[in-house]
Structure 1
Amino acid sequence: MHVTAIVAHPDDADIFCGGTLKKHAERGDDVTIVYMTRGEYGGFDTTEEEVAETRESEAEAAAEALDAEARFLDFRDGRITYSMENRLELVDVIRELRPDIILTHFRDDMHPDHRVTSRLVTDAYYMASLPLAQTDHEEWEPDNVYYFGKPTADEFDPEVFIDMSDQQEAKEEAILQHESQVEWLEEHGGVDAEFDGLVEGVRAQARTTGRTRGAEFAEGFVPLHKGTSEYLE
């Protein structure tokens, strides 16, 4: 099986689905994290290029902690837009990687990059199987898309839960590779106030989710197609 997470920013996969990715990697599945941007807006008094360089290096280290392959696209942080050109770029990425399942952002999210990424991935998933929608690679149809979301999102109500109690430590290790972002999110406050005490907050949320399923730690997802949760374990 091949599991691909398509996320807007370098730390998103680790925070929202890192335990699930690590669990699949430990099963022997191929795991890829596709980063839409290099997160160049997520920094202090420095240039976008310097922030992007730091965050790309951190993302590669985090992916390694999860036994995943890192792949970077060239969208611009805070400026991902919905267009046919961008949709077709993701169609070609899906066709090239040929994942069985895709993990990505839920549609209801404060961050505009998360919302647009969710829509682009959903529509690219549909188009990837169409033979007449021509790109550089042959058509491919993943089995399903699973959405992760912030606990503060009003509409996000997980239906599939992954017990990743044995992977929580690796998830936290991956998050801590984003050293610049641990500092940024804790200092930023305001719109990212839910991330005050980043690792502690992520751990608390995973414990809360796990408690509802009889697990120490768990991650929750909403599937695009219902009744096929056996693909995500």
Structure 2
Amino acid sequence: MHVLAVVAHPDDAEIFCGGTLAKHAARGDDVTIAYMTRGEFGGFDTTEAELAATREEEARNAAAVLGADVTFLDFQDGRIVYTLENRLKLVDCIREHAPDIILTHFADDMHPDHRETSRLVTDAYYMVSLPLLEREHPPCDPTNVYYFGKPTSSFEPTVIVDVTDHEETKEQAALEHESQVAWLEEHGGIDAEFSDFVESMRATAHALGRQAGATYAEGFTRLHDTSVDYLE
């Protein structure tokens, strides 16, 4: 099985679906994280180029902890827009990796990059199997798209994944984003739900887990209500 997570920024994967990705990787599944941007707006007292390089290195280190491969799609942080050209870039990404399932952001989200990523991935998903759409890579047919959400959105998960045995790995991976630990803890207001980076992640996973009979869990909604053996 191949799982592809398409996220707007480095650290989004760890925060919202890191336990699920680690669980799939530990089982022997192929896991890839595609970063739309390098998160070059998320910092203080530096340049975009310097921060982009730092965050790419952190993303690679974090993905290694999770057991995932990485790819970068070279969109600009804070400036992801919906266009046909960008939708086709997502078609190319999905076809290149030919995943069985795709994970990405829930459409109703405060961050514009998250919203646009969700829309681009969803619409690209509908195009990746079209044989007459000729691109560099051949058509593929992922089974479904699973969406993860932020606590500040109207996200209500319908698929719960028990990540109890992988919560520690998720937290270790998140802490590889050293530049963001400081950024999210100091950037109150917009990101106030992350005033304590790892503790906030753990509390969210624990709260959802209690609802589902697990110590820690992550939640998703899916594009299609289909019969599947796992997202585990």
Q: What is the aligned length?
A: 232
Q: Given that residues 161 and 218 in structure 1 are in contact (C-alpha distance below 8 angstroms), is that contact kept between their aligned partners in structure 2? A: yes
SS at match of 1:95: helix
Which consecutive unaligned segments of at least 5 residues does structure 1 have? none
Q: Given that residues 223 and 229 in structure 1 are in contact (C-alpha distance below 8 angstroms), is that contact kept between their aligned partners in structure 2? A: no
Tell me whether 1:177 sits opposite 2:172 in the alignment: no
Tell me whether 1:42 sits opposite 2:46 in the alignment: no
Structure 1 residues 200-224: Cα deviation after superposition (integer angstroms, max 9, x where no partner): 0000000000000100000000010
- Aligned amino acid, residue 201 of structure 2: V
With normalisation by structure 1, the TM-score equals: 0.98
Q: CA RMSD in A?
A: 0.7
Q: Given that residues 58 and 177 in structure 1 are in contact (C-alpha distance below 8 angstroms), is that contact kept between their aligned partners in structure 2? A: yes
The residue that corresponds to 2:101 in the other structure is 101
The residue that corresponds to 2:161 in the other structure is 162
Structure 1 residues 72-98: Cα deviation after superposition (integer angstroms, max 9, x where no partner): 111000000100000001101111100
Structure 1 residues 79-119: Cα deviation after superposition (integer angstroms, max 9, x where no partner): 00100000001101111100000000000000000000000
Give, in whole Å, the separation in 1 of the partners of 2:6 and 2:176: 19
CA shift, 1:229, in A, is 4.4
Structure 1 residues 11-65: Cα deviation after superposition (integer angstroms, max 9, x where no partner): 1000000000000001100000000000000010110000000000000000000
- Aligned amino acid, residue 49 of structure 1: A
Give, in whole Å, the separation in 1 of the partners of 2:228 and 2:11: 25
The residue that corresponds to 2:188 in the other structure is 189
Where do residues 61-210 of structure 1 align in structure 2 (5 Å cutoff)? 61-154=61-154, 156-210=155-209
Give, in whole Å, the separation in 2 of the partners of 1:34 and 1:229: 23
Q: Given that residues 39 and 77 in structure 1 are in contact (C-alpha distance below 8 angstroms), is that contact kept between their aligned partners in structure 2? A: yes
- Aligned amino acid, residue 152 of structure 2: T
SS at match of 2:25: helix
Give, in whole Å, the separation in 2 of the partners of 1:184 and 1:80: 21
Tell me whether 1:28 sits opposite 2:25 in the alignment: no
SS at match of 2:9: coil
Q: Given that residues 110 and 152 in structure 2 are in contact (C-alpha distance below 8 angstroms), is that contact kept between their aligned partners in structure 1? A: no
| Structure 1 segments of 4+ aligned residues over 4 angstroms from their partners | none
Which consecutive unaligned segments of at least 5 residues does structure 2 have? none
- Aligned amino acid, residue 11 of structure 2: D
Structure 1 residues 123-151: Cα deviation after superposition (integer angstroms, max 9, x where no partner): 00110001111211100110000000012
